[in-house]
Amino acid sequence: MLLRKIRLHIPAPTFPGILFAPSSENNEPTLSNTAWLDGVRGFAALIVAINHITSSEIGFRFQGFHAQPVDVNTSVLQLPPFRIIFGMKAMVPLFFVVSGYCLSIQFIRRLRNSPEDISSFFDALSGAVFRRGIRLFVPFLTMAVSSQILLYLGAYDWKWWSDDGLVALVEDSQGNPIRAPIRKHARFLYEYLGTVMSALNHGFGSRPIVGLNPALWTIPAEFRGSLLIYLCFVGLARVKHTIRLWILVSIAFVLLAEGMWELWTFIGGLLIAELHERSRCLLPWTNKGSASNTHESIDMSLRVRRRSRLAILLLWAFGLYLLCLPSQDVENQFGPVYGVATLFTLPHWRSRHAVEANYHGLGATLCVAALGAEPMLRRPFQSRLGQFFGRISFTLYLVHQLVARILMHRFRRFAILLLGEGWQMLATYSSKSALMVVMLWISEILVEVLDKGSVVLAKRLFEKWVVR
């Protein structure tokens, strides 16, 4: 059984060693040519976690520079590119673009390398669909049930301001803690799963999430987008490459016009993967067979390379600019830095309350496209630190709200007890720094249990149940 193989001892955190290890070690593992995608996902998950635990201190910075009220929004950190550190909302579209790329790349390579072996292609596609559901939902359900059990046991230390159902479970009318019957906790868990799973049908337009981990609505949305990717491969596997690209562009354009960012971002990732794979064969500086010995052709190749690099850097800069799009202010504006954004907002974006998400999706698509085309931009994401965050990105996203709502206030009270009442600000930031370290450690532990465990489980179940 899988559970028997889970180690009972708790490993020491590797984060400090990765952070302070010398950069010139010769024993670093060889990275795959898509390892940078893990780094992108890792830093995105880190931004989400930091923003969630510091939102009470940095809340106003979610708005744009000189947005209304102007006298409050004057921080330089509200300007791009610095505002990316407050770009929590932009990270979910970025996750989806990266997922679209990662899910697609192996099937694109199969179609390119063995176009005649369509039978094995569909066998691989069938296995991917089966494993994807288990890979996503086993960790999600584990977190949902564990969180509810911890709430029942009194582990949470949180004030539920905006959720009447949670208040009824943990407090009486005078605010005194209570322990509701197990059946009420079971019903609340059922309602939470119902609201989260509605994202399978409605995506971003699903019902408001009630429950202990509202951020996990993205898990069913991730599965929904994954199914769209797989459906595209089912329908277009035998279609010529150029025709397939135009069909995918058309699908993405229709979804973009409708404001369905939680779907077109996956298609965006698929398109980027298609173009990157094609460029490996077509670009003159990557195609060794087309190299010429003449000085003229070498000079031309260098000029093309320089111009292409400039175009890629501009693409990256504009994508980052869109990723830094702030939250709307009291007048539903983004501030003067993003005033032009309101001119290009499509009507359906407003009707779906998804103006920010669609702009963030465009920025994410441009950034991932630029990263895939320019090795220099990928270096931070291929570093040891980037790969560490990439390895724990899924579990960090799963667990960060649970850990924060159990430990954050306890850590702060302990810090005030040590430092004294006169050091409230220092106590707040030091306690949240300690909380972040603990959160990273717990995420690292859960990689073995939840992340790798669900992968192994999905593989074994598929091997056991597959019809041969």
Q: In this predicted structure, what is the pLDDT of residue 9?
A: 62
Per residue in 53-71, pLDDT (tens digit) is 998 777 667 788 878 888 8
Beta-carbon count within 10 A of 178 CB: 9
Give kind and range of the element (H or E) at residue 239: none
Asked whether residue 423 is assigned to any structural domain, the reply reads no
Asked whether residue 40 is assigned to any structural domain, the reply reads yes
Collapse the DSSP code of 134 into the 3-class scheme (helix H, G, I; strand E, B; otherwise coil) and give the result: helix
Collapse the DSSP code of 366 into the 3-class scheme (helix H, G, I; strand E, B; otherwise coil) and give the result: helix
Q: In this predicted structure, what is the pLDDT of residue 276?
A: 92
Asked whether residue 411 is assigned to any structural domain, the reply reads no
Asked whether residue 55 is assigned to any structural domain, the reply reads yes
Asked whether residue 407 is assigned to any structural domain, the reply reads no
**pTM higher than 0.75 for the full model?**
yes
Residue 136 to residues 222, 241, 391, 451, 461, Cα–Cα distance (Å): 8, 30, 15, 9, 14
Q: For residue 194, how many C-alpha atoms fall within 13 Å in the half-sphere facing its CB? A: 6
Asked whether residue 435 is assigned to any structural domain, the reply reads no
C-alpha span between 358 and 380 (Å, rounded): 26
C-alpha span between 431 and 410 (Å, rounded): 9
Q: In this predicted structure, what is the pLDDT of residue 167?
A: 83
Asked whether residue 359 is assigned to any structural domain, the reply reads yes
Bridge partner residues of 171 (DSSP):
177
Per residue in 117-149, pLDDT (tens digit) is 899 999 999 999 999 999 999 999 999 999 999
Per-residue pLDDT of the chain (468 residues; tens, 9 = 90+): 444 544 446 777 777 677 666 655 555 667 888 999 999 999 999 999 999 999 877 766 778 887 888 888 888 888 999 999 999 999 999 999 999 999 999 999 999 988 888 999 999 999 999 999 999 999 999 999 999 999 999 999 988 766 778 888 888 766 677 888 899 999 999 999 999 998 888 877 666 777 899 999 999 999 999 999 999 999 999 999 999 999 999 999 999 999 999 999 999 999 999 999 988 755 544 444 444 455 555 555 666 677 788 999 999 999 999 999 998 776 677 888 888 777 788 888 988 888 999 999 999 999 999 999 999 999 999 999 999 999 999 999 999 999 999 999 999 999 999 999 999 999 999 999 999 999 999 999 999 899 999 999 999 999 999 876
Domain count, the chain: 1
Q: In this predicted structure, what is the pLDDT of residue 83?
A: 92
Expressed as residue numbers, the domain containing 85 is 33-281+307-388
Q: In this predicted structure, what is the pLDDT of residue 60?
A: 66
Asked whether residue 50 is assigned to any structural domain, the reply reads yes
